[in-house]
Structure 1
Amino acid sequence: MNNILTGAAMGAALTTAGVYAPDVILAQFNFTDFTMLQTFLSAAAGSTLLVTIAQTLHLTTLPPRTPSTLTLFTTPTTGSTTTPTGFLPLYSGNILGGALLGTGMAVSGACPGTVLAQLGVGVASGRYALAGAVLGGVVWAGVGAAEGKGKGDGKRTRSDTVYEALGVSRGVLLVGLEAVLVAAIAASVKYTAASAGEQRGIPPYLAGLAIAAAQLVSMVLRGSLLGASTAFEELGGWVWGSRKYANLLFSAGMVGGAWLISQAVPALRPVTDVAISPIKSVVGGFMIVFGSRIAGGCTSGHGISGLSLMSISSFLTAAAIFGAGGLTGLLMG
């Protein structure tokens, strides 16, 4: 039940913020509307503050996200597994997986979390994107996961956080990071357009706090942070004999939460339901899940939760998502 309730909070938050809508996502990646960026920065700032306070007070003991390393960029060691040969190879899965995820978002107007909200609200293209996402989960569960890609090694034998790498305390980095995020939000509000957010009557920099609130719900009810893409791997695993379902319950809650709030507040439904071809939606849907699993997380798992833990891997993944997505949006625009 906790997974369902947490998912409902996240689905409702995405719907309230409006960043689930394909036109908002596509407009961000062709740089015509910055509703998504303002919301993301606000959500990251709020979530980072909440998570750091909880960690500092020892209310949670959540580890940072470890690197996702592709075996293509590793070298064999004597007697067992493989080891990375440098910084970029160590984070190769984060960079390449994040780039694939960002490209898929610019193609389909969805990510692993927003596609579930799209299903709940009734976005037409979201159904096709979901089909591609499910296919991505099936392929990953049968091929990618079997090779151990995108999982990280789970070991804490190096500095996995930015503050460890810089040799400063978590609190010092928190102050600096929050200052940067607030300054970025202010600059974005002043110098960029966010008409999609304005049409909904909810400023994006405030709407992002709804997502941060969903993060708080997740910590209280589940003792873990938000993340959507693992559910597609779980679903794909059912084809290959695995029977996990915790994240599937979370995803079902997201669909339900998005549906409930969109029914209760019709104004939260999409202002513009852009026409995205079924083929593009399916292909993009596949890319967002397969890329997420290579990277070991998606826009929520890395982009919100991983940044909140100040994980190096998450900063790199988020940069790859927005970099590749922006380039794809410009090329397609």
Structure 2
Amino acid sequence: MSYNLVAKTLRGALFGSALTAAGVYLPSVIIDQMYLQDFHMMKVFLTASAASAIILTVLSKSYKSLKPRSPSNLGWLGSYDGNIIGGALIGVGMTLTGSCPGTVYLQVASAIASGVPVLLGGLFAGFVYFGTAPYLKTAAAKREKSDESQNCVYSKLHTDPSTTLLAFEALMMGAIVLSSQQPSAPYLLNPIVGGLLVGLSQLASVLLSGQGLGISGSYEEFGAWIWYFIDTIRGQQPKTRPSFGNIHFALSAMLGTYLMRQQFPEFAIGDSMPISNERAFLGGFLMIFGSRMAGGCTSGHGITGMSMLSVSSIISVAAMFGGGMGLGLLMRSGLIG
């Protein structure tokens, strides 16, 4: 077994085990966050983003510099319309399923009942998105080239990068303190510690593979393989053979969760929140289709992109929580069943 394969497997396994230890793979934790009833997930998420920002900044000066995410421009409403629409769909899917694009895999590995239909909905979305992606963008959007020098907040605002990073850290710390004043059910691991573990998995990811965290590409990659086989069966020669890297990362994350639960049974928590198969499948589809429209998910945009002060990532994350919490409020009020 080559070092590269071991490194990539370890990268995914560490990410999966960190999310498991942090407890943010549980449907009840995610749905209660969107209902504004429990802020455990928010504290983990904000801590992971703050830690990741420091880690990526240090690594960019001494080891590896990652590129901030470009806008997802569909040409419908503006330069960031894909980030806004896709982000909102992710949030809606999260509220319906109690999952994130990454935690779906962990739920399946944890034998959580809703995990399988959510995953099936997500894989179907990857298949549909890969087949329809060329038609989602207008001709003008396809011709437009993004100015990479304007992808970060400090470039847009013409501020000093270090000062902007300090402001981001202060904002994250303030949000963590504020969310700590809100109700939160006790969990085995303090959410701040859980967030730091996720941040450390970001460090491991860059050191082991030169890549930041991100998992929603695995669904599109799955779709690419299905279309590849369909074209082969039709006798059409596919232009390129799809890669397997994102799927490998997702499977490795599942392995990390499985091993974590085996070695530390106290983290093998069940979740009895009832979610119908139809709701799970629909939510999984919307969540993954949205993540591909936005060019990332809660890990790719939320932990990696936002920590690099990427404008598109910040917009995507705001849309995620706006869409998810908006639907949560409607569901709690009884306006939507």
Q: TM-score, normalised by structure 2?
A: 0.89
Write the distance in 1 (CA, Å) between the matches of 2:267 and 2:152.
Answer: 37
Contact 2:70 2:148 in 1 (8 A): no
Cα shift readout 1:235-279 (whole Å, capped 9, x = no counterpart)? 010111142101111011011101110111122123533110000
**1:20 aligns with one of 2, 5, 25:** 25
User: In the alignment, which residue of structure 2 is the partner of 1:212?
Assistant: 199
User: Matched residues in 2 for 1:94 and 1:151: separation?
Assistant: 16
* Aligned: 1:66 with 2:56: no
Match of 1:93 among 82, 91, 96: 82
What's 2:110 paired with? 121
Deviations 1:171-190 (A, max 9, x none): 1111111111112112211x
Write the distance in 2 (CA, Å) between the matches of 1:152 and 1:210. Answer: 41
Q: Distance in 2 between matches of 1:110 and 1:151?
A: 32
1:137 counterpart (120, 123, 126): 126
C-alpha displacement of 1:154: 6.8
**2:2 is equivalent to residue 11 of structure 1:** no
- What is the alpha-carbon root mean square deviation over aligned residues? 1.8
Return the offset for 1:194.
1.6
Q: Secondary structure at the match of 2:298?
A: coil
Displacement of 1:332 after TM fit? 1.4
Q: 1:238 aligns with which of 203, 225, 238?
A: 225
Amino acid at match of 1:194: S
**SS, match of residue 86 in structure 2:** helix
Tell me the number of residue pairs that the alignment of Structure 1 and Structure 2 aligns.
313
Task: Structure 2 unaligned segments of length 5 or more: list them.
Answer: 229-240, 333-337
Give yes or no for contact 1:107–1:281 (8 Å, CA) kept in 2.
yes
Give CA deviations for 1:90-141 in whole Å, capped at 9, x if unaligned: 0000000000000000001111101011111111101110000000000011
Distance 1:145 1:170 in 2: 35
Letter matched to residue 298 of structure 1? C
User: TM-score scaled by structure 1?
Assistant: 0.90
Secondary structure of the 1:72 match is: coil
Q: Deviations over 1:137-177 (max 9, x none)?
A: 00011112565589997743551100111112221111111
Tell me which moved more, 12-21 or 164-173: 164-173
Specify the code of the residue in structure 2 equivalent to 1:181: M
For the Cα contact (< 8 Å) 2:56–2:65, is it kept in 1? no
Q: Is the 8 A contact 1:162 1:312 kept in 2?
A: yes
Indicate conservation of the 8 Å contact 1:22/1:110, yes or no: yes
> For residues 73-92 of structure 1, what are the alpha-carbon distances to aligned partners after superposition, in whole Å with 9 as ceiling and x for unaligned?
4xxxxxxxxxxxxxxx0000
1:269 aligns with 2:268: yes
Instruction: Tell me which of 192, 209, 212 is aligned to 2:182.
Output: 192
Q: Distance in 2 between matches of 1:114 and 1:223?
A: 22
